[in-house]
């Protein structure tokens, strides 16, 4: 029997270990979810919402557990207090818009015809969740899927295996019927087998590009809907009219928070040449105030990366860039151990020939380049295989909209970054994948349309 092991980045010790389900046992669990779904969907919408809200409240009552377990599992400093704020905001927003988002579209209701489009649940929704924001990314799909009448099967990342268990406890405590929500510990092979056998109405995957391709390969020929949110190389652009201090503070935080392990973290910055030197000077000064260390220490502002192999990739990109002529501005910090604890880094003299400006780094490192004008910035921002978000810094909202229309991205931010507004659709393009999370479109993703064309007979 294979096992899933969570190795803590704090000290390399085994923090949690769980046995994987066999293929047969997994099939049984998914069959139970499918059997439970019909009765769940038959419940009134407000009842389903109430169950979800109770589960959210349970997580809110156990945030101390969330905070310390996240520190141990993936290195998030305890000073930031976990993820309950965003978790609750997203779940509650989706609950608040459910009635309108799921309401029938009535084309005609006359003496002659009833013509309308209703939304039907997909059935069993399979959520394969990532480790970097393990509560918030999971609830993005879990909440609307359950509210819309689906059963949910969750497979959480091995690095945050306890989050799946915590969520399962919350839904059990809320009194969710039977197998409507099921947390499974699965290896990659079993996951692929279940998808290939067509057990799910929707597969929702957040993770690497390679992982997304594996999901699509497994689903090939089954006609299972597959929604993916994959890599990113999100740019920030500081225009000549930007508020420089605000741009530095927010963009550098967007690059470094969570040790740079954010789906929509800032990974490259383009600054108008007239502001470039001042931006870099202020950015370097800010990063030098960071405290890299044990995430259980309240003084720590930057914890270890979640796994040594993630830190190795970030180090490799930094070293390659420096070998090719880039300048690194942050001296190695005393707590940088050459392993999971990685000094945050700012690089200049970078080019798009360097992986640090092309490949997803997913670590606390950012390259900064000067640009002459909007046209050059647009060209460089679009010079990427990814398209999740971009962040524009300007006082001119009309200019931001005009630039945004020329960018290959899922979300355009102005004077902010690295935030999911649950009222807006979370989506991407290019190798970032295809999908629609949150907003009313998030409900459309976890349901399918059914049309009614009823001709009424005259008596």
Active site residues: 229, 263
The β-bridge partners of 371 are 272
CB atoms within 10 A of CB 323: 9
SS3 363: coil
Terminal-to-terminal C-alpha distance of the chain: 67
**Crossing angle for the helix pair 161-173 and 136-147, to the nearest 10 degrees:** 40
Give the span between the Cα atoms of 103 and 107, in whole angstroms: 12
Cα–Cα distance for residue pair 168/183, rounded to 1 Å: 6
- What pairs with residue 153 in β-bridges? 126, 182
**One-character DSSP codes across 114-134:** EEEEEEEE-SEEEEEE-SSST
DSSP annotation of 437? B
Token representation of residue 209: 């590009």
CA distances from 64 to 47, 82, 280 (A): 28, 8, 37
Q: Which of 135, 147, 140, 122 is nearest to 53 (CA)?
A: 147
């Amino acid at each position: 029997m294979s096992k899933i092991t969570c190795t803590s980045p704090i000290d390399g010790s085994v923090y949690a270990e769980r046995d994987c389900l066999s293929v047969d046992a997994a099939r049984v669990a998914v069959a139970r979810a499918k059997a439970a779904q019909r009765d769940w969907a038959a419940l009134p919408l407000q009842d389903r919402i109430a169950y979800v809200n109770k589960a959210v409240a349970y997580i809110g009552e156990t945030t101390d557990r969330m905070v310390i377990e996240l520190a141990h599992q993936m290195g998030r400093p305890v000073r930031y207090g976990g993820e309950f704020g965003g978790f609750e905001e997203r779940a509650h927003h989706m609950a608040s818009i459910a009635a309108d988002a799921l309401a029938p579209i009535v084309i005609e209701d006359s003496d002659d015809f009833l013509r309308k489009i209703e939304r039907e649940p997909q059935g069993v929704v399979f959520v394969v969740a990532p480790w970097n924001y393990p509560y918030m990314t999971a609830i993005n799909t879990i909440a609307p899927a359950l509210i819309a009448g689906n059963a949910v099967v969750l497979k959480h990342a091995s690095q945050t295996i306890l989050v799946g268990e915590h969520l399962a406890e919350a839904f059990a405590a809320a009194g969710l019927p039977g197998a409507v929500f099921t947390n499974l510990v699965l290896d990659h092979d079993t996951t692929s087998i279940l998808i290939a056998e067509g057990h799910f109405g929707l597969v929702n995957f957040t993770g690497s590009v390679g992982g997304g391709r594996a999901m699509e390969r497994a689903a090939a020929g089954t006609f299972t809907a597959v929604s993916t949110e994959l890599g990113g190389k999100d740019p920030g652009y500081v225009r000549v009219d930007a508020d420089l201090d605000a741009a530095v503070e927010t963009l550098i935080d967007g690059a470094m928070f969570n040790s740079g392990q954010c789906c929509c973290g800032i990974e490259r910055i383009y600054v108008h040449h007239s502001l470039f030197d001042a931006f870099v000077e202020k950015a370097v000064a800010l990063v030098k105030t960071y405290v890299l260390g044990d995430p259980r220490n309240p003084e720590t502002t930057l914890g270890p990366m979640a796994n040594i192999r993630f830190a190795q990739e970030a180090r490799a990109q930094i070293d390659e860039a420096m070998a090719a002529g880039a300048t690194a501005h942050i001296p190695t910090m005393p707590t940088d151990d050459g392993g999971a604890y990685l000094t945050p880094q700012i690089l200049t003299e970078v080019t798009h020939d360097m992986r640090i400006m092309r490949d997803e780094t997913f670590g606390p490192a950012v390259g900064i380049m000067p640009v002459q004008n909007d046209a050059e910035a647009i060209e460089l921002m679009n010079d990427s295989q990814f398209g999740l978000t971009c962040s524009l810094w300007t006082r001119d909202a009309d200019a931001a909209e005009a630039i945004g229309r020329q960018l290959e991205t899922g979300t355009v931010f102005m004077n902010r970054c690295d935030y999911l507004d649950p009222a807006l659709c979370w989506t991407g393009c290019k190798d970032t994948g295809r999908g629609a999370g949150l907003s009313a479109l998030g409900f459309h993703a976890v349901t399918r349309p059914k049309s009614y064309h009823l001709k009424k007979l005259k008596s």
